[in-house]
C-alpha cells in the first residue's frame, strides 16, 4: 500500500497554510501552523471535554493524522495507525483503526484518541478507562469535513479556521475557473475493478458534483440502500458511456488507463477513446483531509482538458 | 412433471444393496435439460440492464456465423455490450454452472456422501485463501486465477492426505471430516488476512461472493479446456461412480480399482472446480443442490445424474446470473447471494415433494 508520498504535496500544504495565514484579514489573527497553542482550556467538543491541551494524541485515522499535522498539532501526536502514511515522518505504529485494541492503545498512555470508526465497542472501552475519544467518521460533505477539522483544532489548541478558509477558497477558485459547458460532462468514479462506485450522495461524489459533473452511478443507488457505494453493472456502464473515468484504484488494484482500455467492450467508450481516463491518488481520493484540494485539482484539470 | 416412476438405483449412498439396474437415461430428461439450457441461454441474452431489441439481438447472434452480415440497428457500444459483455457472461455462467454441478455430483459419488461438494472438501476454502492472499498482499491481479487454482489443488491434496492418514481405513467419512478441518483451518487463515488488510475488504469480499460480473471472453477461453477435460474424465467414469456407491469390496469384486478411480475422479473434479472458482469467485450451493435435484427427478444412477447435473447446473447458473445483473440494475447483486437465495428454498421444495425417493 505505502507509496512514497511526494514532498510536492507537503510543500503545497505548507504553502497553503502560509498563504492562509496572510490572506484572511477577517480572521482574528489565526496562528501560524507551528505556533504554540493559544486557545484556552478546558474545551468541550461534542461529548468530549479536555481540561488541558492534549500532549499524547493517538490517531487511528489517516485523515485525522493529516489534519492534525496540517493544523500544527503534529508534535502532540505520539502514535498513528498502520494506515497513516502522510505527511512523511508521522509516528507510524502497528495499531489498527480497523481492529482497534483498547489495551494496545492504552499502552501509549494517550490523553486523546482520534478514531474514524467505533468498532468493537472501542469508544466505550476507552471511555471506561477515562481516555477521551474523538470520533471523526467518514465525512459526508465538505462542510462536514471542515467541521471535523475545526473540532480537531479546538481539541488540540490549534484553531483550524485558517486552513478551512484556505481550502474552501482554493476549491471555489478551481471550480470557478472551469469553462462553461452547454451540456454537463458525465463521469464514472471507480473504487475497485469490481466496478464499485460512489454516487453523488457521497463525499467524493458531492465534490465532483461541484465541478459541474453528472455521475452515471446515481441511478444504481437511487434510494441510498447501498450507502452511496453501489457495484455497477458493466453492460450499463459501457452503454452509459461517461465522458470521464476517474480511477481511485490505482495503487490498491493496479488499474490504469491501459487496463481500463483493455477491458472487454470498454474501448468503445468516449472516455477511453478521448483519453479521458484519470488516474487519481487512491489515498488522497479516499480521505477527507486538507489534501482534498489535490483531488479537486486533479478533477478540474481533467475537466478543463475536455473540449467544450 | 412427476417423478420418474421407478425405484432409484442404489438406495441412498454407501448403504450397500443392489447396484443400479435400470439406469438408462430417459429421453424425457435429456429433452428437459436441453430445453432448460436453451431457455436460460436465450433469456440471458435477451435481458439485461441495457435494453436491446430482441430482433437486433438475434440478428447480431446470427451475424456471428461465418459469411453472414446483416444490419441489426445496434450502435457500436450496444454491439460491444451484447457480444463482449453479455454473451461471454452467459457462456461463462453455462460453463461454471455445468462444472460446479458436475464436480459436486462426482464428489458425492466418490465419497459416498450426499453432502460432499467443493465446499465441504476444502477446495473452495483453498481457492479463497489463495485469492485473498493475492489481493491482501497486493499481488498482481493477473495471478488470481493461478493462485486460486493452486490453493484449491493444495487444499484437496491436504484433505486427501489427512483423510488417508488413518492408514488402511480410508473411509469416505474420514475424508469428509478431514475436508471440514482443512476448510476451517484455511478459512481462519483467510479471515486473519482479511482483518490484517481491512482496506482490501471490498475487493476480497466481492471475489468471495462470486462474480461473473467482470468476466469476458478471456475467462471463457481460460475455463473451457478445464471444463472439457473434467467433463470427459468424469463422464467416462460414470459406471465406476455407480459401482463405488455400493462399496469398495463390491467394486473390487467387479474388477475395478476403487482407490484408483477415486483418485482420478477427485483430481478431475478438483481441477474443474478450481478453474471455475478462479474465474468466478466462490459460488455456493450449485454443487450440492443441482445433483440432488436431478437425483430426485431422474433417479440416482450416475449415468443420469452426471450429464443432467451439467445441463441443469448450467441452466441454473445462467438464470441466477440473469437475476444478479437485472434485479437491482444498473447495480449488481453478487451471484453467490442469488444461488443461495434461490437454490436453498428450491432444494427444500424438491425434497419435500419427493421425500420418498430422496435419501
A298 and A244 in contact (C-beta within 8 Å)? no
Give which of A198, A231, A255, A271 to mutate to test B binding, by max B Cβ within 10 Å: A231
C-alpha separations of B103 from A133, A155, B259, B271 in Å: 53, 61, 18, 9
Triad B126, B95, B9: Cα angle to 5°: 85
pTM: 0.81
pLDDT tens for each residue of B124-174: 889 889 988 988 887 776 677 678 878 888 898 888 788 766 555 556 677
- Cβ neighbours of residue B293 under 8 Å, at least 6 residues apart? B312, B346, B347, B350
Beta bridge partners, A77, equal A57
Task: Give residue A5's pLDDT.
Answer: 37
How distant is the Cα of A187 from the closest Cα of chain B, in angstroms?
15
HEC readout, B206-255: HHHCCCCCCCCHHHHHHHHHHHHHHHHHHHHCHHHHHHHCCCHHHHHHCC
CA torsion angle B126 B129 B133 B136 (round to 10): 160
| Listed residue (B86, B40, B37, B39) closest to B61, CA to CA | B86
What's the rounded Cα separation, in Å, for the pair A164 and A146?
A: 6
Restricting to B residues 112-141, those with a Cβ less than 8 Å away from any Cβ of A are 138, 140-141
What's the rounded Cα separation, in Å, for the pair B64 and B69?
A: 8
Specify the higher pLDDT residue, B27 or A236: A236
What's the rounded Cα separation, in Å, for the pair A123 and B33?
A: 57
Task: Give residue B124's pLDDT.
Answer: 81
Supply the DSSP symbol for A291: T
CB-nearest to A1 from B50, B77, B138 is B138
- Taking the Cβ of residue A96 and every Cβ of chain B, the question of whether any pair is shorter than 8 Å is answered with yes
Helix axes B54-63, B27-46, angle to 10 degrees: 110
Task: Give residue A41's pLDDT.
Answer: 84
Distance linking the first and last C-alpha atoms of chain A: 37
Q: Give the DSSP H/E element, type plus range, for residue A246.
A: strand A244-247
B82 and B60 in contact (C-beta within 8 Å)? yes
CB-nearest to B141 from A253, A264, A269 is A253
Three-state DSSP class for A244?
Answer: strand
Q: Give the DSSP H/E element, type plus range, for residue A245.
A: strand A244-247
- Taking the Cβ of residue B86 and every Cβ of chain A, the question of whether any pair is shorter than 8 Å is answered with yes
Task: Give residue B282's pLDDT.
Answer: 81
Tell me which residues of chain A have a pLDDT lower than 50: 1-37
The burial of A27, by beta-carbon neighbours within 10 Å (0-12 exposed, 13-18 middle, 19 or more buried), is given as middle
Say whether the ipTM exceeds 0.85: no
Task: Give residue A144's pLDDT.
Answer: 95
| Listed residue (B2, B14, B11) closest to B248, CA to CA | B14
pLDDT tens for each residue of B259-287: 888 889 988 888 888 888 878 888 888 98
Query: Looking at residues B202-224, what average pLDDT do you find?
Result: 81
CA torsion angle B253 B256 B257 B261 (round to 10): -140
What's the rounded Cα separation, in Å, for the pair A125 and A103?
A: 9
What's the rounded Cα separation, in Å, for the pair B3 and B1?
A: 7
- Cβ neighbours of residue B224 under 8 Å, at least 6 residues apart? B95
Is the four-CA dihedral A248, A249, A251, A255 of positive or negative sign?
negative
Is there a contact between A264 and B81 if contact means CB atoms under 8 Å apart? Answer: no
Alpha helices in chain A (DSSP H): 7-23, 62-70, 102-106, 122-128, 142-156, 161-176, 203-210, 234-240, 250-253, 257-262, 270-273, 282-286, 292-305
- Cβ neighbours of residue A229 under 8 Å, at least 6 residues apart? A191, A196, A197, A198, A199, A202, A221
Residue of B nearest to A95 (CA): B196
Contacts of A265 in chain B (CB under 8 A): 77, 80-81, 84-85, 216
Percent of chain B residues topping a pLDDT of 70: 88
Task: Give residue B244's pLDDT.
Answer: 83
Specify the higher pLDDT residue, B25 or A152: A152
Residue of A nearest to B321 (CA): A233
Contacts of A196 in chain B (CB under 8 A): 202, 206
- Taking the Cβ of residue B85 and every Cβ of chain A, the question of whether any pair is shorter than 8 Å is answered with yes
Q: Give the DSSP H/E element, type plus range, for residue B27.
A: helix B27-46
Task: Give residue B148's pLDDT.
Answer: 80
What is the distance, to the nearest Å, from the Cα of residue B223 to the centroid of all Cα atoms in its chain?
Answer: 12
Amino acid at each position: 500500500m505505502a507509496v512514497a508520498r511526494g514532498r510536492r504535496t507537503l510543500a503545497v500544504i505548507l504553502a497553503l497554510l502560509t498563504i492562509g495565514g496572510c490572506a484572511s484579514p477577517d480572521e482574528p489573527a489565526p496562528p501560524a501552523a507551528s505556533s504554540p497553542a493559544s486557545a484556552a482550556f478546558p474545551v468541550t467538543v461534542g461529548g468530549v471535554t479536555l481540561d488541558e491541551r492534549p500532549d499524547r494524541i493517538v490517531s487511528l485515522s489517516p485523515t485525522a493524522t493529516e489534519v492534525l499535522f496540517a493544523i500544527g498539532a503534529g508534535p502532540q501526536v505520539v502514535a498513528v495507525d498502520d494506515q497513516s502514511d502522510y505527511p512523511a515522518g508521522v509516528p507510524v505504529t502497528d495499531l489498527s483503526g480497523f481492529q482497534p485494541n483498547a489495551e494496545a492503545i492504552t499502552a501509549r498512555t494517550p490523553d486523546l484518541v482520534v478514531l474514524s470508526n467505533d468498532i468493537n465497542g472501542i469508544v466505550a472501552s476507552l471511555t471506561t478507562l477515562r481516555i477521551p475519544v474523538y470520533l471523526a467518521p467518514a465525512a459526508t460533505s465538505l462542510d462536514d469535513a471542515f467541521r471535523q477539522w475545526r473540532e480537531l483544532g479546538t481539541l488540540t489548541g490549534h484553531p483550524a479556521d485558517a486552513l478551512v478558509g484556505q481550502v474552501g477558497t482554493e476549491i471555489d477558485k478551481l471550480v470557478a475557473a472551469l469553462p462553461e459547458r452547454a451540456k454537463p460532462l458525465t463521469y464514472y468514479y471507480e473504487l475497485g475493478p469490481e466496478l464499485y462506485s460512489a454516487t453523488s450522495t457521497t463525499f467524493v461524489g458531492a465534490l465532483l458534483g461541484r465541478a459541474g459533473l453528472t455521475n452515471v452511478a446515481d441511478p444504481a443507488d437511487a434510494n441510498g440502500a447501498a450507502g452511496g457505494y453501489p457495484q455497477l453493472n458493466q453492460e450499463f456502464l459501457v452503454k452509459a458511456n461517461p465522458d470521464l473515468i476517474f480511477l481511485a484504484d490505482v495503487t490498491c488494484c493496479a488499474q490504469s488507463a491501459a487496463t481500463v482500455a483493455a477491458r472487454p467492450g470498454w474501448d468503445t467508450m468516449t472516455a477511453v477513446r478521448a483519453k479521458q481516463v484519470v488516474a487519481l491518488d487512491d489515498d488522497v481520493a479516499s480521505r477527507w483531509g486538507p489534501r482534498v484540494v489535490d483531488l479537486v485539482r486533479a478533477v478540474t484539470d481533467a475537466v478543463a482538458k475536455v473540449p467544450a | 412433471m412427476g417423478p420418474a416412476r421407478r425405484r432409484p438405483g442404489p438406495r441412498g449412498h454407501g448403504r450397500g444393496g443392489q447396484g443400479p439396474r435400470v439406469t438408462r437415461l430417459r429421453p424425457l430428461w435429456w429433452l428437459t435439460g436441453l430445453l432448460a439450457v436453451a431457455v436460460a441461454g436465450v433469456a440471458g441474452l435477451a435481458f439485461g440492464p441495457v435494453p436491446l431489441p430482441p430482433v437486433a439481438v438475434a440478428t447480431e447472434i446470427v451475424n456471428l456465423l461465418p459469411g453472414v452480415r446483416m444490419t441489426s440497428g445496434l450502435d457500436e457500444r450496444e454491439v460491444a455490450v451484447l457480444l463482449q459483455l453479455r454473451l461471454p457472461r452467459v457462456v461463462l455462467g453455462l460453463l461454471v454452472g455445468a462444472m460446479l454441478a458436475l464436480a459436486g455430483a462426482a464428489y458425492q459419488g466418490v465419497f459416498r456422501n450426499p453432502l460432499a461438494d467443493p465446499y465441504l472438501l476444502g477446495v473452495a476454502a483453498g481457492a479463497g485463501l489463495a485469492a485473498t492472499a493475492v489481493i491482501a498482499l497486493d499481488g498482481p491481479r493477473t495471478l488470481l486465477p493461478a493462485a486460486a487454482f493452486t490453493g484449491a489443488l493444495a487444499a484437496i491434496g491436504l484433505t486427501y492426505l489427512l483423510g488417508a492418514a488413518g492408514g488402511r481405513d480410508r473411509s469416505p467419512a474420514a475424508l469428509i471430516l478431514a475436508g471440514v478441518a482443512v476448510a476451517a483451518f484455511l478459512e481462519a487463515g483467510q479471515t486473519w488476512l482479511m482483518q490484517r488488510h481491512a482496506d482490501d475488504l471490498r475487493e476480497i469480499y466481492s471475489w468471495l461472493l462470486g462474480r461473473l460480473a467482470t468476466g469476458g471472453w478471456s475467462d471463457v477461453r481460460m475455463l473451457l479446456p478445464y471444463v472439457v477435460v473434467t467433463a470427459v474424465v468424469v463422464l467416462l467414469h460414470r459406471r465406476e461412480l455407480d459401482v463405488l456407491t455400493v462399496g469398495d469390496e463390491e467394486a473390487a469384486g467387479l474388477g475395478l480399482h476403487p482407490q484408483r478411480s477415486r483418485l482420478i475422479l477427485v483430481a478431475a473434479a478438483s481441477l474443474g472446480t478450481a478453474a471455475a472458482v478462479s474465474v468466478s469467485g466462490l459460488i455456493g450451493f450449485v454443487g450440492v443442490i443441482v445433483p440432488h435435484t436431478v437425483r430426485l427427478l431422474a433417479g440416482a444412477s450416475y449415468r443420469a445424474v452426471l450429464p443432467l447435473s451439467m445441463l441443469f447446473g448450467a441452466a441454473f447458473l445462467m438464470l441466477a446470473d440473469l437475476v444478479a445483473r437485472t434485479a437491482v440494475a444498473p447495480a449488481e447483486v453478487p451471484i453467490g447471494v442469488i444461488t443461495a437465495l434461490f437454490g436453498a428454498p428450491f432444494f427444500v421444495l424438491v425434497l419435500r415433494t419427493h421425500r420418498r425417493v430422496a435419501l
